[in-house]
Amino acid sequence: MRNGQQYIESLRDGRCVYVHGERVADVTRHPAFRGIARTIASLYDTAIDPANDMVHTNPETGTTGNKAFMIPRSPEDLKQRRQAILTWARLTNGLVGRGPDHVASSIAGMAAAADLFARARPEFGENVKRWYR
């Protein structure tokens, strides 16, 4: 799992962003993005802190990850996943509607229903499972 600093560094990849017709050299330092970049970084730091109980081990791969990516296989899994997402929502007062948990939920949901993707073509189901892993 990534930490906040790794997230910040990932944003320094030469991406092409313009604000009011001017190219932004570093989105992590620009006033339009600096605050939200720090907020998202703090979410990653919260997730890796063992005190927050947001890490789970994937039973299929044995790898660890954020519980927001967990595919619930029991009511207890669903409860733990919900608590992890609530932890992040409380940190932002619910004002980051498309945070990392949004993407995690989308990917986990698709992987949980890979058979639906495979109905169109078998490789589609495999692709979504591979993307999730």
Domain locations along the chain: 1-48, 53-133
Integer CA distances (angstroms), 52 to 79, 91, 97, 98, 107, in order: 14, 12, 21, 21, 22
Mark out the alpha helices in 20-74 (DSSP H runs): 34-48
Q: Tell me which fold the domain 53-133 belongs to.
A: 4-hydroxybutyryl-coa dehydratase, domain 1 (1.10.3140)
* Pairing between β-strand 22-23 and β-strand 18-19 as defined by DSSP bridges: antiparallel
From first to last of the 133 residues of the chain, give the pLDDT tens digit: 899 999 999 999 999 999 999 999 999 999 999 999 999 999 999 999 999 999 999 888 898 999 999 999 999 999 999 999 999 999 999 898 888 899 899 999 999 999 999 999 999 999 999 999 8
